[in-house]
Structures are given as structure tokens and as C-alpha cells.
Structure 1
Amino acid sequence: MQNTESTAPQGAPGAEEGMSAAEAAVQADMEALSQQLAQAENAVAEMRDVLLRERAELENQRRRLQRDLEQARKFANERLLSDLLPVFDGLEGGLAVETADLAAMRQGLELTYKSLLKVAEGNGLKVIKPVGEAFNPELHQAVSMIDSPAHTSGSVVSTLQTGYVLNDRLLRPAMVVVAN
């Protein structure tokens, strides 16, 4: 009997040690999972922070781009208008002169016109001068046709309104009279 009694009390502490080992394993697993969860939460928090910073940066870039576009639209004609200032000065000076000399007045207007054309050409504007050329429906608008023995059929006899091309794009067709 001694053997049975001695084994039973010895078995009880062994069973308790087995339970505590299982509990210790569960506890270790819980701690490992808790650490993994904490790491995952930290990673998510970092990603959320990065995402918020990226969104803010994109929003700032969008606002900057919008502001730059507004500035570009607002001041797009600044160079052209500053080039036109001498033309305005010439016109003001011509209007200030009180003279009955029509030739001098015409000469002043011609100089001002040439100055204006120079500014326009410097900004990509080209004048269409079609007299004597063949009629081109892409650049000319025929207003009328006349019989002209001096001109070949289909050629431009005269221009009623000057046409313009801006940087290789038709701005306004020349209104012309075409030989029949």
C-alpha cells in the first residue's frame, strides 16, 4: 500500500506541474501574440501616418498647381501688353500733335502701324497677303468673283479684310475678291 499511496501524492504534483506547463505554454503563446498584435498596430499606425502625410502633400501640390495656373492665366498677356506700350505712346503722341499737314499725319500712322505689326509678329502673328496668289479656302474667304483679264482664273484680285495666322493656326481668314 505504501507504493500506491506514495505514487498518488507524487502523481498529483506531477499533474499540477503538467497543468502549469500547459498554462505556461498558453501564456507564452498569448505574450507572443500580444507582441505581434502590438507590432501590427504600430505598423498600421505608421502606415496611416504616411498615408495622411501623402494625402496632405498631394493636396498641397494640387493647390500650388491651381494657384500657378491662375497666375499664368492672369498674366499670360503681360509680355504682349508691355510690347504694345510703345505703340500706345506713338498713338498718344500722334493725337497730341495738332497739324493740318495730312502727309505728316499719314507718315506717323504708318510708323505706328509698322510698330504694331512688329509687336504682333514677335508674338507669333502673321499677316495673310493673298493678292496675286491662288485662292486657298483654308486661308481665304471669297466674298465675290469678278471677271479680270489681268488675273488668272482662281487667283485673288483684291483683299477686303486682312487675314491673320497665329502660330500656324488660322486666326481669321482674309476676305478676298477672286478672278473668274
Structure 2
Amino acid sequence: MAKKTDTEVPINGLYDEGGKLKGVAEDVETEDAVEEMETEVSLSQEELVALCKESVCPGCDVYKEAEGVRLRALADSENVKKRLQREADEMRKYAGESILADLLPILDNLDLALAHTDNLDAACKNFVIGVDMTRKLFLDAVKGHGLERVEAVRGGDFNPEIHEAVGTVEDGELSDNQIAQIVQGGYFLKGRLLRPAKVMVNKA
């Protein structure tokens, strides 16, 4: 069989001018593309992330916008978690608020009973002692749940944040805006004002 030379014209169009069979390059390129696609599909998550980092420029606007959205979403999620935690803590801390508020009238009545014992005879002395002991036991019990009495004494300064003025009096022994009388005791529950102390305020 005669050897094909460089000057020979391709037979029936099967060869190109370089002497290579037509269509071979296209087939090779197609096979390479298929192999490349199979390689991409079989990439692991770490490899995909690495490819993304190589392909996306950290300085481009698209990357910056996506990063901003991601950071805002993380911040919003963290804020929601903190708010829910605070609300749960508040709920646990003040769970007994309504119950303790309902018990305050009992303390008020015990205080009222002890306030009118000055003119009682000796026969009632044991009764007064019993009432006073009951009041102390009751106070100790509610203190264990965070209940504390608001400071309000005759001659003390009126504080609108913890005192409620129910009237005014003129007492020459006191200065202006001082407490002249405690009408009803006030209470804190774990540092939060549960009920202000009701007082009469002196107006000189």
C-alpha cells in the first residue's frame, strides 16, 4: 500500500489539511466534557466550597451583598434567641407575682390590727403578741419568695418612684414633702416594685 505524503489531497474528505481524520478532535472533546461533568458531580462538599471560594471574588459587590445578608441573618437570629431567653427568665422570676399580690391584703390587715393596740388592757396582751408573731411568720415566708417591704417611715422624704401620695397634711414638726403618715405598706418583688407605699405627705 502506498504511503500517504503531505502533498496528497484528502481522500473523500476524510482527512483534513493536517492529515488528521475529521471528527476525531470533536469526539475527544466530547469525551473530555463528559468526564469533566462526571468529575463535578462527584465532588465532595469541601471541594465544592473550595471551588466557590476560588470562583467568587471577595471584593466583588455580589459577594459583599451576600455576606451582608448572611451577617444580618445571624445577628437577627442571635437577637431573637436572647429575647426569648430574657422573656423565659422573667417569667420564671416573677411567676408568683399574682399570688403574692393577692396575699398583701392579709399583711395589711395584720398591720392594721397591730396599729390599734395601744389602749388595750393587759388581758389582750397575749392576743396582740400572737398577732405580731403571725405577722412575722407570714413576712418570713413571703420574703423567701423575694417579697420585701418598701421603706416608708414618718419623717422620711417622699419618693414618687416608690411612694404614692393619697393626701397632704400640715405638720409643724416635719419639713415640706416629708412623709407624715403611712396609710398602706408597699412591697418589692425581687427588686421590682409590686405595690407603692401609700402615704400622707406634709406640706409646710
Question: Kindly, what percent of the aligned residue pairs are identical?
Answer: 27
Distance (Å, rounded) in 1 between the aligned partners of 2:174 and 2:13: 128
- Per-residue deviation at 1:161? 0.8
Gaps in structure 1 of 5+ consecutive residues: 48-57, 85-100
Gaps in structure 2 of 5+ consecutive residues: 50-76, 104-122
TM-score (norm 1): 0.52
Note if contact 1:151-1:179 (Cα within 8 Å) is conserved in structure 2.
yes
- Candidates 149, 155, 159, aligned match of 1:132: 155
Distance (Å, rounded) in 2 between the aligned partners of 1:25 and 1:160: 101
- Per-residue deviation at 1:32? 2.1
Tell me what 1:141 maps to.
164
Distance (Å, rounded) in 2 between the aligned partners of 1:108 and 1:3: 132
Tell me what 2:62 maps to.
none
Distance (Å, rounded) in 1 between the aligned partners of 2:168 and 2:30: 104
Instruction: Report which of the two has the higher share of helix.
Output: 1
CA shift digits 1:90-113 (9 cap, x unpaired): xxxxxxxxxxx7443432332221
- Per-residue deviation at 1:124? 4.8
Distance (Å, rounded) in 1 between the aligned partners of 2:177 and 2:32: 97
Distance (Å, rounded) in 2 between the aligned partners of 1:3 and 1:170: 109
**Which one-letter code corresponds to 1:110 in the other structure?**
D
CA shift digits 1:11-47 (9 cap, x unpaired): 877569623532441232233233134236x75xx99
Tell me what 1:31 maps to.
34
TM-score (norm 2): 0.47
Tell me what 2:134 maps to.
112
Tell me what 2:110 maps to.
none
What is the Cα-based RMSD across aligned positions, in Å?
4.6
